[in-house]
């Protein structure tokens, strides 16, 4: 959309850009540029204009727009970023694009999800104007046995993105929840399709939901003990979401090019910010219903990102999948 292209140019420019230069760069008429500027102003962008100098973007509202995200990324990324106001689930939209041949690195972002999906069939609260709901397509050339590494690498990538965007630290609860002050700010849901014969991963849809500017009342009562937002944990300060979306995309592009040889960085950082090892936990296997968990102590993160656990009966196991409750987190005492 022309509006996004104009916004991208204005966002990158610290000084005035002449309407003439914008129309030449984009190959459109001056009238079309004027119309795009008018539409951006209606969206809440503050754009100064001066007869001799042209346009200057003075301030941007916190809208997740392709223009403001693409302005922060290399130009060749613009073609594979799809931004929507509202979708059922960004994972579903990306799955559809992937089935039509979208390349690795394609991204779907939405301001609002009507059917945001969490792990194990749960829903993921996705109010508008507050979070970053983003899905990233990876075709990783790996066997299915590597999937837990990938999801753990993603937790590191998103923690790095939050640090780069806002200068803030977060922690990881095994396997890939991100926390601030011991409450969840980000969930990751990876949906994989595997080729039956070879066991190789065909596509990996990595869905990342970050609670950025939610207030306490945005969360449903049943998750109020568990979930928080970056804003709540930082005295109600509001954060520019396009910046975080762009940093997540950069981190995921880096992950994609680091895979599979760059493991040492991801493992070291994962261990560094993981708060599960050393804690009392209850482990739930994939089949177990709540209440059927086994209690134990998480000892360490293994080299393959599995969790070494010593159970109450003295047996030791390496958990590659499933979920754990960690004592002291999410209301578990």
Give the interface with ligand BTN as residue ranges (CB under 6 A).
Answer: 89-91, 113, 116-119, 122, 124, 133-135, 187-189, 207-209
Nearer to ligand BTN, 142 or 226 (CB): 226
- Within 8 A by CB and 6+ apart from 32, the residues are 2, 23
CB of 234 to ligand BTN, least distance (A): 21
Angle at 142 between CA 90 and CA 82, to 5 degrees: 20
**Smallest distance, Å, CB 186 to ligand BTN?**
8
As to burial, measured by CB atoms within 10 angstroms (0-12 exposed, 13-18 middle, 19+ buried), residue 137 is buried
What is the per-residue burial (b if ≥16 Cβ within 10 Å, else e) of 197-228? Answer: eeeebebbbbbbbbbbbbeeebbeeebeebbb
User: How far is Cα of residue 136 from the mean position of the Cα atoms in its chain?
Assistant: 8
Closest to ligand BTN by CB, 82 or 117: 117
Residue 3 or residue 95: which is nearer to ligand BTN going by CB? 95
**Cross-strand bridge partners of residue 184:** 179, 227
Q: How far apart are CA 326 and CA 323, in angstroms?
A: 10
**Nearer Cβ to ligand BTN (134/281):** 134
User: Looking at beta carbons only, is 7 or 223 nearer to ligand BTN?
Assistant: 223
Q: Which is nearer to ligand BTN, 84 or 311 (CB)?
A: 84
- Taking each helix axis from N to C end, the angle separating 30-43 and 19-26, rounded to the nearest 10 degrees, works out to 100
- Of 134 and 165, CB closest to ligand BTN: 134
Q: Which residue lies nearer to ligand BTN by CB, 105 or 187?
A: 187
- As measured in angstroms, the least distance from the Cβ of 19 to ligand BTN is 38
**Strand 316-319 with 323-326, pairing:** unpaired
Q: C-beta of 328: minimal distance to ligand BTN in Å?
A: 19
For the bound state, the minimum distance from the C-beta of residue 206 to ligand BTN, rounded and expressed in Å, comes to 8
Q: Smallest distance, Å, CB 286 to ligand BTN?
A: 14
Q: What are phi and psi of 79, to 5 degrees?
A: -65, -25
- The CB-of-209 to ligand BTN minimum distance in angstroms stands at 3
The pair phi, psi for residue 290, each rounded to 5°, is -55, 140
| Residue 85 φ/ψ, nearest 5 degrees | -75, -45
Closest contact distance (angstroms) between CB of 9 and ligand BTN is 29
Closest CA relative to residue 218, chosen from 287, 130, 306 = 130
């Amino acid at each position: 959309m022309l509006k996004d292209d104009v916004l991208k140019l204005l966002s990158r420019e610290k000084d005035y850009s002449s309407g003439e230069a914008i129309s030449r760069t984009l190959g459109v008429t001056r009238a079309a540029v004027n119309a795009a500027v008018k539409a951006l102003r209606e969206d809440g962008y503050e754009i100064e204009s001066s007869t001799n100098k042209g346009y200057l973007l003075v301030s941007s509202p916190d809208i997740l727009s392709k223009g403001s995200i693409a302005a922060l990324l290399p130009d060749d990324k613009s073609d594979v970023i799809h931004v929507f106001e509202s979708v059922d689930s960004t994972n579903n939209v990306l799955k559809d694009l992937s089935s039509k041949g979208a390349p690795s690195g394609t991204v779907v972002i939405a301001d609002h999800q009507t059917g945001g999906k969490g792990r194990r069939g749960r829903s993921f609260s996705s109010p508008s104007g507050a979070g970053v709901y983003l899905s990233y397509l990876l075709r990783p050339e790996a066997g299915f046995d590597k999937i837990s590494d990938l999801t753990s690498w993603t937790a590191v990538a998103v923690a790095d993105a939050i640090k780069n965007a806002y200068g803030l630290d977060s922690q990881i609860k095994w396997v890939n929840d991100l926390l601030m002050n011991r409450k969840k700010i980000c969930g990751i849901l990876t949906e994989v399709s595997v080729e039956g014969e070879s066991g190789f991963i065909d596509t990996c849809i990595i869905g990342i939901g970050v609670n950025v500017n939610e207030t306490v009342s945005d969360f449903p009562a049943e998750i109020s003990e568990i979930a928080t937002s970056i804003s709540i944990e930082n005295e109600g300060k509001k954060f520019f979401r396009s910046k975080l979306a762009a940093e997540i995309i950069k981190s995921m592009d880096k992950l994609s090019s680091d895979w599979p040889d760059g493991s040492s960085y991801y493992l070291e950082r994962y261990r560094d910010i993981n708060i599960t090892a050393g804690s009392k936990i209850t482990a739930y296997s994939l089949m177990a219903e709540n209440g059927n968990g086994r209690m134990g102590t998480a000892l360490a993160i293994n080299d393959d990102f599995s969790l070494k656990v010593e159970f109450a009966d003295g047996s030791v196991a390496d958990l590659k999948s499933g979920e754990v409750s960690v004592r002291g987190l999410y209301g578990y005492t």
